[in-house]
A and B are shown apart, each in its own frame.
Chain A
Amino acid sequence: MTVLLKKFSQKRFLVYFLFAGALFLLDFGPFFLSFKNVFAKLLQPVRLEACQLRQFTLGKVFYSSRLKDQEEKILDLEKESAVMRGRIVELQQIYDENKRLRELVGSAMTEGKIIYQPAWVIGHRGDYLMVNRGKEDGVMLEQLVINEKHYFVGRVAEVFDREAKVLVVGSASLELPVSVLSDWERDCFAGAVDCQKAKGILSGEIIKDILREGDIGAGDVVTLLDDHRGILIGEITQVKESKDNIFKQAEMKSLVDFDRLTEVFLIN
């Protein structure tokens, strides 16, 4: 072994290499952990500086003016993009409004029977909607309010000079005499075929006082009683028997999506 070591000219290398190996093996234990932690804490500011330096590229030094111009251009483009996005939203609103109005004009059931007065929904709280038409626009109490699909929205409950308060369908305060019709066929609403199954009083989302003879079921539609303007109120979801054995009740779901309601029509 000694001969080998003598032949090996790099004794110093062997000493240091063995020392490094010992260090390597000892580091598997917890001996140097505290020392390494202290060293890591001491180097923490250097690491932070290094992180900041990484973000500072050479391009920013040599092309700073060019980069500045580019950043200004990006800002301008972002502004332009924001304006254009606003314009797109505006156009989309016009498009939606146009579509709804076209649907309304194309409604064959109501030809020549109803005078529409368009209004914007300006507020919705609890059972009431506020619309931007009032006394000055000729709005009257008890006037019916429908949406663009001809679904019943509610009834005018209070009129101000420039606004009106509408009590919406589904509210317990709104009581209406209604008919229950068999299906969605257009002939039913036009009066060509007698599709009426039953009559009742709508209060909230419950139709009361329906005679037991009325053969109604889920899916039947609810409309205003003796009204041939084709205004739909809702759809029967459930039929319940009442305790008196004379009448029965039905639960109804409104056809209007109040969350998306923006325009309504006051009708005469």
Chain B
Amino acid sequence: MGERKDYLWLVLVFLLFVVALLEAVFISLPITLFLVIVLAFYWEEKIFPWAFWVGVWRDLASWCHLGVWSMIFLAAALLTIIIKRRGLGLESNKLSLPK
């Protein structure tokens, strides 16, 4: 069961990178940002490293200035976590996906 959860985590991270690549070269909709927000809602602090690296990947793929999308994704993730905890009044880790 635990292996299955790890597999899910890996799939989601892989999906995040694939979506970022698609957004950079093909689709103009901010789907990566949406995915980062959704994952931040469940993963909370654990999203930060992935938000950072996906941002770098996104910048490289779209030949943008490095660090821009990392900051955007990190800010969006933080905002999501703050809204979740304070705005919605949900307790930490209550709805997060299993590790």
Contact = CB atoms under 8 A, between A and B. Distances in A.
A40 interface: yes
Contact of A16 (B25, B52, B60, B65): B52
Interface stretch (A18-26, A142-150, A203-211): A18-26
B90 to A, nearest CB: 15
Contact of B45 (A12, A26, A40, A46): A12
Instruction: Select the residue from A20, A27, A54 with max chain B CB neighbours within 10 A.
Output: A20
Contact of A20 (B25, B52, B60, B81): B52
Interface string A14-36: 00110111111111000010001
Interface majority SS on B: helix, strand, loop or mixed?
helix
B70 A36 contact: no
B86 to A, nearest CB: 11
A46 B77 CA distance: 28
Contacts of A40: 60, 63
A63 interface: no
Q: Is the interface of A mostly helix, strand, loop or mixed?
A: helix
A24 B68 contact: yes
Interface of B: 21, 25-26, 45, 48-49, 51-52, 55-56, 60-61, 63, 65-68, 70-71, 74-75, 77-78, 81
Interface of A: 10, 12-13, 16-17, 19-27, 32, 36, 39-40, 43, 46-47, 50, 53-54
Given A16-B52, A20-B74, A27-B66, 19 more contacts: A10-B48, A10-B81, A12-B48, A12-B49, A13-B77, A16-B49, A16-B70, A17-B71, A19-B52, A20-B67, A23-B66, A23-B70, A24-B67, A24-B68, A24-B71, A26-B66, A27-B65, A32-B66, A46-B21
